[in-house]
Amino acid sequence: MKSLLDLYEENEGNVSDKWLSYLTYYDKLLTPYRNQPIRILEFGVQNGGSLDIWAEFFPNATHIVGCDIDPKCANIEFTSPLIKVVIGDAKSDETLEEVTKNSDYFDIIIDDGSHTSSDIIRTFAKVFPVIPEGGLYICEDLHCSYFQAFEGGLEDPSSSQSFFRRLSDYVNHEHWTKHHDLKEPLRHFERAWDTCFTTEILHQIHSVSFTNSICHIEKKKPVENLLQKRIVRGNQAVVDDEPADLKRADYMKMPASDYPDSAPHGSLEERAHHYETVTLELKKRIAELESTTRQDVEQNALRI
């Protein structure tokens, strides 16, 4: 079976524009879906070539939909009858309604639209709910998030890259020591770009992965996104013979106030200094707990 790069190199029809690293990344990421009857949605049609190539890459696809704000995209002729194009603004309710007339869900959604931070973040909030569990949301060309012309910058707290970095915290949300409102860490983005996230969305985030200029988010059932039970097996403990569960229990007793989990706003250097200070405090507290645990174990051993 031909690779995605092979299909691009052989393409003589509608033009498609992708970076080489994207093609090799997609080959690895999307191969598990390749022979499935998937439904794929791509924002940003441009000349339409990528939709043609997706039709070849996914031979058993049932729905291939493109969405673009440019009305000229409606005039593109495609090689596959499966390909449909919706004209409209990806982040609007009206456009989403038109998109979902073709299919009420999509296994893979690719955002290759305007690349502006506001559009990326609003579009994610709008369309992530139409991905089923086990599906993927992919955002391309995130290098634009470092450019002011695309509402970004290296230290811009409202950029699309800042948003996806923050979203990665939700993979580990069960370990947040301050159990505030699940939506609180995203309030800034809601205010900055006039959008809204539901707790249902946030509970379904299984993984957030980055490569050069791409972020992809995997969606799964909330129960599959938890650490679940701890499994300890074996009878020999040559290096550490202290009861593992006892040590862990003591760590988990550490007051939430000992875990400052929000850094002050400021430059990267200021935030780095803040975390260095917090890390030193935590190491000191952990050392104290280890000493206390060791003493308790020794005293219990003497009583036996």
Q: Which residues are catalytic?
A: 115
Contact 123, 113 (CB under 8 A): yes
Rounded to 5 degrees, what are φ and ψ at 296? Answer: -65, -40
CA gap 74, 87 in Å, rounded: 7
Show the beta-strand stretches assigned E in 88-199: 108-111, 136-139
Torsion over CA of 215, 218, 219 and 220, rounded to 10 degrees?
A: -160
CA gap 177, 279 in Å, rounded: 15
CA gap 141, 113 in Å, rounded: 9
Residues 6+ apart with CB under 8 A from 97: none
- 267: three-class secondary structure by DSSP: coil
Angle at 181 between CA 173 and CA 176, to 5 degrees: 30
Name the strand (E) or helix (H) holding 73. none
CA gap 282, 223 in Å, rounded: 30
